[in-house]
Each structure stands twice: as structure tokens, then as C-alpha cells.
Structure 1
């Protein structure tokens, strides 16, 4: 078996199982464990996976701060934002997570109907300063500056008093096995809490977040009402997600 073939099969296993165990793969391919470990080292060097003792896990995405993320995949985020904003109906309360994609939702919200936007992000609230019909509720708490969102007990208490119709969730990674995840424990807890308080939750995902796993789980793929993703992602790659959640909306 050629090296490129082995590496392709290893990636298939990683997407399917959420992990690669070197000994098991060596037995499956009838190869030495040293050969598989060498492949894993090379693939880790190429940024395709993350080496751990005995095997490998999906890549953990980098966590640049909010100002750095504003310049990443901006056109794609604009399309996702427009698709999500089109879902908003008159009289609804929506909850916008912090982040650059949800900022694009805020910029594209309809201006001819009245609704309420709740958020725990001061930067998201500021986007709506001049919106003519949106009532804005900003919840307080301890500011997590990396993502510019409120976290902690005060934030959870304030959010518990709300019952949003739709929560537009942002995460750093999505994986069929490991679910939706982010890089900070407290922020993950707040995201889960908002989802529990909301009638529906839709997660916004750029393509670079698929098949990855951050350290702090938020929700399973099947725990959200739907996923909003860019168009053009191959069906083979999306199949594991569709098996868990049939509501995949393309923008």
C-alpha cells in the first residue's frame, strides 16, 4: 500500500471514529506499528491531525483573538450571516453569540420588522446601535476578553431570565464524534446554558471548523436544530453530519 493511500485511509478513520489508535490501524493494514507511527508523525507535521500517546486525534484549531479573526474568511461569513438573518421573524427574540460570524448576522438583520436581540457580547450589541427596529438586551457578567463575551455566574443568572426563540451559536470546531466545541471551559458552559434556555439553536460553521475538535465540548451535532454552512462542501464530507442532523442549511 502506498504511503498516500495509507494516509488517506487514516484520515477516513479519524473522521469516522474521532481518533486513530496506531496498534489497531497497524493490525487492520497488516503493517508494523512503527510504520503507522511514522505516518502519524508526518501527518501531524502537515497539520492533518494531532499526535497523542498511542495514536492521534483531530486537529485543535488555533484560537486567535477577536480582532485577528475579523479578517478570516470574511466573504464566507457574510454569506452565513445573511442566511441566518433571513430566518428572523417579526416579534421573535433571538440570542446572538459573540464572534465574527454572528457580527455578520447583526449587520444583516431585517430593518422592516420589529424583534428583540439578546446577547452577552458588548461588541455584538454595539453593531445594533443604529438598527431602527431591534430592541437590544445586553446581559452582564465577567468579560472574557478573548471572545468579548460575558461569562460566569452573573451572566448565567441573567440569561436564565430569557427564553429566546432562536440562539445563533458560534464554536471553534465541529466533529461528528466529538461534537461542537470551543477553547475555553467557561465560554463553553455559557453556550450550553444559552442553548438550554432557547427554543431552537443553529450553529454557524465555516469550512475550516469541520472535522476538528477543541478542548471544551459544547453540544453534540444532533443537539442543535440545524447547521448553517458554506455551499460547495463535498457531500462525502458532510455525510457523517447529515446522519446526525438533517437540518443543514447552505449559504
Structure 2
């Protein structure tokens, strides 16, 4: 088997199983474990996967700080935000997670839309300054500065008193096996808590977030109501999510 074929197979296995165990793969392919480990080292150098003891995991996305992410407002994010904004109906209570993609939802909301927006992100709340018809509930707590969202016991308690019709969940990675995830344990806990009290939970996923895994799982991918993804994502990329019966909403 050619090196390129082995590497393609490794990527397929990562996508399918969420991990690669070097010994097991070597046995499956009747190859030496050293050969597989060499492939994994090379692929890690090429930033195709993350090497761990005994094998590999999907690549964990880089986590630039909020200011750096805020400066990048891609056309892809704008399309996803516009699509999500159209899902919101008058009279609903909507929980908006923090993040630059969710900020695009606010920017596409009609100024006269009468809804209640709940958020634990002061940056999201500030985006709503000129939406006179929207009631804004800002959840307080300990500020996690990387994502500019409130976490901790005070935030948990306030969230538990609110039942939202729809929650737009911000994530750093989406994987068919490892679920939707983020880079911080406390942030993952607060996101999971919000989802518990929402009737529906949707994830806006840019192309770079698919088939990746961050350290802290928020929810299994099957627990979300749908993935809002760019319309030009290949059908092959979406197949594992469709197989898991996750609704896909192309934007």
C-alpha cells in the first residue's frame, strides 16, 4: 500500500471512529506498528491530525483570542448568521451564545422584530443596542475573557430560570463521533446547561469546524436539533452527520 493510500485511510478512520490506535490499525493492514507511527508523525507535522500516546486524534482547532476572531468576519459566517436570523419568529425567547459567528445572527435581525434575546455574552448584548423592539436579558457571572461569556454558579442559576424556544450554540469543533466541543471545561459546562433548558439547539458550523475535535465535549452531535452549514460543503463531508440522523441546514 502506498504512503498516500495509508494516509487517506488514516484520515477516513479518524473521521469514522474519532481516533486511530496505531497497533490496531497496523494489525488491520498487516503492517508494522513503526510504519503507522511514522505516518502519524508525518501527518501531525502536516497538521492533519493530533498525535497522542498510542495513536492520533482529530486536529484540535486553534483558539485565537476573541479580539482576533472578532476582526475576521467572513462571508461564510455572514451567510450562516443570516440563515439563523430567518429562523427566529416574533414572540420567541432566543438564547444566543457568544462568539463571532453568532454575532452575525444579531446583525441580520430585523430592527422591528419583537423577540426576547437572552445571552451570557456582553458583546452579543451590545450588538442589540439599536434593536428597540427586542427585549434583552443579559446573564451575569464570572467572565471567561477568551470567549467573552459569563460562566460559574451565578450564571448557572440564572439560566436555569429561563426556558428558551431556541438556542444558538457556539462551538469550536464538530465531529460525528466526538460531538460538538470547545476548548474550556467551564465554558463547555455552561453551554451544556443552556441546552438543557432550550426546546431546540442549533449549531452554526463554518467549514473549518467540521471533522475537528476540541478537548471539552459539550454535547453528542446527535443531541443538537440541527447543524447550519455552508451550502457549498461537499456531500461527502456531510455523510457521517446524515448517517447519525443529524438534520443538516445548508445556508
Q: TM-score range by the shorter chain?
A: over 0.9
* Number of residue pairs matched by the alignment: 251
1:219 and 2:204 are equivalent in the alignment: no
* 3-state SS, counterpart of residue 213 of structure 1: coil
Matched, 1:208 2:208: yes
Distance between the aligned counterparts of 2:112 and 2:143, measured in 1? 32
Moved more, 20-29 or 39-48: 20-29
Q: Which residue of 1 aligns with 2:45?
A: 45
- Could you say what secondary structure the match of 2:87 adopts? coil
How do 1:137-156 residues align onto structure 2 when only pairs under 5 Å count? 137-156=137-156
1:41-91 superposed Cα distances (whole Å, 9 cap, x missing partner): 000000000111111111111111111112446111000000000000010
What pairs with 1:100-249 in structure 2 (closer than 5 Å)? 100-249=100-249
Q: Quick one: distance in 1 between partners of 2:117 and 2:248?
A: 23
Q: Deviations over 1:139-169 (max 9, x none)?
A: 1100111100000000011111111100000
**Misfit runs of 4+, over 4 Å:** none
1:198 counterpart SS class:
coil
Q: Is the aligned partner of 1:95 residue 2:69?
A: no
Residue of structure 2 equivalent to 1:24: 24
Q: For the aligned residues, what is the CA RMSD?
A: 1.0
In structure 1, runs of 5+ residues without a counterpart are: none
Between the aligned partners of 1:109 and 1:151, the Cα distance in structure 2 is 26
Measure the CA separation in 2 of the matches of 1:27 and 1:220.
30
Where does residue 75 of structure 1 map in the other structure? 75
Uncovered stretches (5+) of structure 2, i.e. residues with no partner: none
Quote how far apart the aligned CAs of 1:25 are: 1.1
Normalization by structure 2: what TM-score? 0.98
Pairwise CA distance, 1:16: 0.4
